[in-house]
Amino acid sequence: MKHERPDQLRSSREVHKSFARRTQPEAISGISKIGIREKVYESTKLAAVFDTLVHQDVSAEEILRGVTIRSEDVHSPKTRISLGQLMTAYQNAIRLSADRHLPYRVGTTIHVSTYGMYGYAILCCPDFRKAMDFATTYHALAAPLATIEFREEGERATWSIEPILHSVADRQLYRFIAELQIGIHISLMRDVMGPAFTPQEICLSYPQADDFGITEELVGCSVRFSQQANRVVFKSEWLDQTASLGNKTTYPTIIAICDDLLGDLNLRIGAAGEIRAILLRDIANPPTFDATAKLLDVNARSLRRQLRQQGISFRGLRDELRAQLALKYLRSTNLANEDIALALGFSDAANFRRAFHRWTNKSPSEVRGE
């Protein structure tokens, strides 16, 4: 067997560390500091799917199965839900409804008035380009099950939509979230720019399916499947119109209120959010629990108690972040399993594959093939 000299091992480790540093910054751009089990969001989107299914004569009990929320609390302004509860409701909807356009239809029931101060701020934006920027910057206030990005290039403007990584292993749920978010975007754009707003085209990253899906007749524009990303494309001339409801005086005041709401959201995620931020700095070489406590300037016993109150463990947080990053690497790069293992701090690809199967009940190759 050939053995590496100590200087060769040191060189190899430096190459590995350099690789991990290069790959991580781009990967963490879609990773949230808020876990899917933390109940910090208003029930707006849950209420939208609940109401749509109730109108289709689906029982409230079935809609909320596994969601652990009472039907009388769905519309309460005091109710706080997690992204995990919302995804469970969506999975129930897929199972219960025969509506072939359900996710898009649910999305179009969500209007700026649904979003409270976040929606009001969108209306108050003095011009439509500021409205696009605001919607992206403050998207965390809208119980986001997808990351969104807005881009304007010449005569085309594009919303890019990527469902959160927790949905990647469930392709039906991934499609449901993508099409619901497209419905929301079109609904909000019509609220802001007028009912005549129509996209130029819709691009979807997956093939056309038999169970449910967006159609050209439904959205009024071409729909292209198996594209590089999920996108809503429209003519940028829509952005040149006058924002009739915009107000330059009110807008800064509303922005300040939304900043306070983001601050409140960060307070509600508590210790778990602070730990996630630390772990994401270098997930390949994460600090120990005791080292993390020192970085946060808290007693280790106190930190453990805070996590226990949130129903979360330090190891669970680390594995959750690793799972999200792994899914993003598998979905959006051609990195080999060995490289992904390295970037996530595993000693080899075999250990990574075992951990990935434990997290998702799927192998990396199965996720790549979907």
DSSP 70-139: -GGGTT-TT--B-HHHHHHHHHHHHHH---TTHHHHHHTT--GGGGHHHHHHHHH-SSHHHHHHHHHHTG
pLDDT at 312 over 60: yes
Condensed to tens digits (0 to 9), the pLDDT of residues 65-94 reads: 999 999 999 999 999 999 999 999 999 999
Q: Position of tokens 């085309």?
A: 156
* Residue 41 φ/ψ region, left for φ over 0, alpha for ψ in the -120 to 50 degree band, beta for the rest: beta
**pLDDT tens digits, residue range 115-158?**
989 999 999 999 999 999 999 999 988 888 998 999 999 999 99
Residue 215: what pLDDT? 96
pLDDT tens per residue, range 223-233:
999 998 899 99
Rounded to whole angstroms, how far apart are CA atoms 108 and 91? Answer: 19
Q: Where are the alpha helices (DSSP H) in 310-345?
A: 314-332, 337-343
Query: What is the reported pTM?
Result: 0.78
Distance CA 321, CA 355 (A): 12
> What's the chain's Rg over C-alpha atoms?
22
Query: Which residues contact residue 15 at a Cβ distance below 8 angstroms, ignoring those fewer than 6 apart?
Result: none
Cβ 156 vs Cβ 200: under 8 Å: yes
186 by Cβ neighbours in 10 Å (0-12 / 13-18 / 19+) ranks as buried
Amino acid at 175: R
State yes or no: pLDDT of 13 exceeds 50.
no
57, 98 contact by CB (below 8 A): no
Cα–Cα dist 3/13, whole Å: 15
- Strand 230-235 with 201-203, pairing: antiparallel
Q: Do residues 173 and 201 touch, judged by C-beta distance below 8 A?
A: no
To the nearest 5 percent, what fractions of the chain are helix, strand and coil? 60, 10, 35
pLDDT for the residue 12: 42
